A and B are shown apart, each in its own frame.
Chain A
């Protein structure tokens, strides 16, 4: 028996999936969830085998949700229209349904999702997929992080600075700091270049938070930020800062 959940914010869309599922007696529906947060919680607690996941939802999008789970169940995405996502689906051959879809197409997707997981780990595909979608979004407007069991969505303009920590980055905001598995290069490319600057190999800074620059040794500066942090500024970082802030 396959245990499934639906994460989808529109009632009619959920009704349709439920109706299509009546043709599959081998699938039990454990529950339906109307936003990203409750969907995430359900995946962690119920550990379903199969998830019907909408992309655009309140609180967390389908992709943001996937970034936050460790063990990925079999996923069938449902989306209405999202150029980046559709391209990403095609490249990564993950099952997806374009709304509106037929019972036949739905059956195919279920068949595909169930077959695939037996041969190869789907989670790898999912990682590739989310990476691909994230890459395509040029400028980030928010970042999702996880601390223990809590999820935090950080609007990028609240970020003070990002510090590199081996395979992770530490994101500093007023309320604290959050670790996220992501590269510095990724943040360098996807944070608004008019606002964020890599001032050092280890730091990307929100230039609005820079209080002052202090001469540290000859030709070497420290940036003092609104939260009191003092960060080294490299030579090239100083030059870039100078041209961006025009001093």
Chain B
């Protein structure tokens, strides 16, 4: 970990200013209450506090290597007790030695120097405590920052993973049944077989290749869905009818990639798969206050007993919407008579 004072020039300046302030207070006290002249007051102050200032920079390492989170608390106290004693002894002895040399012939000051030992040591202890406290604060602040950063990173990682999992996977049923239809068409209608192979390839290319893109335009999403519906129409013929009504102003609106696909798959699965009569899938998209409003509905066979599985698809979409828009209220489903309807609002992302 970088030394907090030496880390930036700015911090070193602050550090020096802090010591200058303490030194000035000290010198003023000597001048005012003890009657020493300015030269003596400031020299005394300068010698002692510049010494402490230099030693205090080194104290960072005692703090760094006796981490209160890792080391035993008794060890920490023992370390600091030792370091404090050593600091004070070196500090006082060096300081008083230097001052004795400077003011060798001023007996009044030399007497004062001897008398001042107790309170100088007291000040030293407090300075020591203050400094290590500041150092510990710096460390815990840095740890906190790091933790926040890590958490944010982790969150975005989790979000990405979740999103990629929630995007619809290619349904193997759909794939193999489509291949079977193609196999049949090669005999009965080779031209149509070729057309279907091309559509299926385009569909697969989009499903496999474009997954890393988070947002695409509605018209791109619709291209993909049209391929899907056309392929299913070859399988189901007249049983599947679809009607799309998309307002022109919606076409360039950005929507989450593959957000509509599962809804259409659901409509086919629960409508067409389960009914031997015609099923109409209607899609309406129009602008609204927040962004765009999409409605997908299909009729279904009332006699067909409901199958489960529907909930997972819808739940996945709700989860995706929550992750992307941080909102829970964007998707509503409604089942009435023989119509199943999903209403979804996609807000503008700012």
A interface residue numbers (CB < 8 A to B): 9-13, 15-16, 19, 34-35, 38, 56, 58-59, 80-82, 98-101, 139, 141-142, 153-155
Please determine whether B236 and A10 come into contact, CB atoms closer than 8 angstroms. yes
Q: A16-B183, A16-B187 are in contact. Are A153 and B177 (CB under 8 A)?
A: no
Question: Contact at A11–B274, with CB atoms within 8 Å?
Answer: no
Given A56-B273, A58-B274, A100 and B305 touching (CB < 8 A)?
no
Interface on B for A, CB 8 Å cutoff? 172-173, 175-177, 179-185, 187-188, 234-237, 273-276, 301, 303-308
Which listed residue (B184, B274, B276) contacts A12, Cβ 8 A? B184
Could you tell me if B176 and A80 are in contact, using CB atoms closer than 8 angstroms?
Answer: yes
Tell me the nearest residue of chain A to B237, going by C-beta: A11
If A19-B187, A19-B188, A59-B276 touch, whether A141 touches B181 (CB-CB below 8 Å) is: no
Whether A80 pairs with B180 at a CB distance below 8 angstroms is yes
Most interface-central of B179, B188, B234 (chain A CB within 10 A)? B188
Say whether, besides A16-B183, A16-B184, A19-B188, A59 and B307 are in contact (CB < 8 Å): no
C-alpha gap A82/B214 in the complex (Å):
31
The residue in chain A whose Cβ has the minimal distance to the Cβ of B179 is A100
Contact indicator B308/A10 (Cβ below 8 Å): no
Contact yes or no, A58 B273, CB < 8 A: yes
Closest Cβ of chain A to B242, distance in Å, is 17
Chain A's nearest CB lies how many Å from the CB of B188? Answer: 5
Shortest distance in angstroms between A19's beta carbon and chain B's nearest beta carbon? 5
In terms of DSSP, what is the predominant structure of the interface of chain B?
helix
Of all chain B residues, which has the CB nearest A158? B305
* Cα(A19)–Cα(B183), bound, Å: 11
Specify which chain B residues have a CB less than 8 angstroms from the CB of A56 in the assembled complex: 173, 273
Q: Do the beta carbons of A153 and B305 come within 8 Å of each other?
A: yes
Are B181 and A81 in touch, CB under 8 angstroms?
no
- Cα(A177)–Cα(B236), bound, Å: 36
Cβ–Cβ < 8 Å partners of B307 in chain A: 141-142
Q: How far is the CA of A101 from the CA of B184 in the complex (A)?
A: 10
Give A170 Cβ to nearest chain B Cβ, in Å.
Answer: 19
Q: Of the candidates B173, B237, B301, which one forms a contact with A80 in the assembled complex, judged by CB atoms under 8 Å apart?
A: B173
Structural contact, A100 and B173, CB atoms closer than 8 A:
no
B275 near A100 with CB under 8 A, answer no
- The smallest beta-carbon distance between A150 and chain B, in angstroms, is 12
Chain B residues with Cβ below 8 Å from A154 are 305
Contact A12 B181 (CB under 8 A): yes
A141 pairs with B184, CB closer than 8 A: no
Whole-angstrom distance between the Cβ of A68 and the nearest chain B Cβ: 14
Measured in the bound complex, the distance between the Cα atoms of B305 and A19 in whole Å is 33
Closest Cβ of chain A to B193, distance in Å, is 9
Which 9 pairs across A and B sit closest by C-beta, in order of nearness? A16-B184, A99-B180, A80-B176, A12-B184, A12-B181, A100-B183, A81-B172, A142-B305, A100-B180
Q: Which residue of A lies closest to B193 (CB)?
A: A12
Can you list 23 pairs linking A and B with CB atoms under 8 Å apart?
A12-B181, A12-B188, A13-B177, A13-B181, A15-B187, A16-B183, A38-B276, A58-B301, A59-B304, A80-B177, A81-B175, A82-B173, A98-B176, A99-B176, A99-B177, A100-B176, A100-B180, A100-B183, A101-B183, A141-B305, A141-B306, A141-B308, A142-B307
Q: State in angstroms the CA–CA spacing of A19 and B172 once bound together.
A: 25
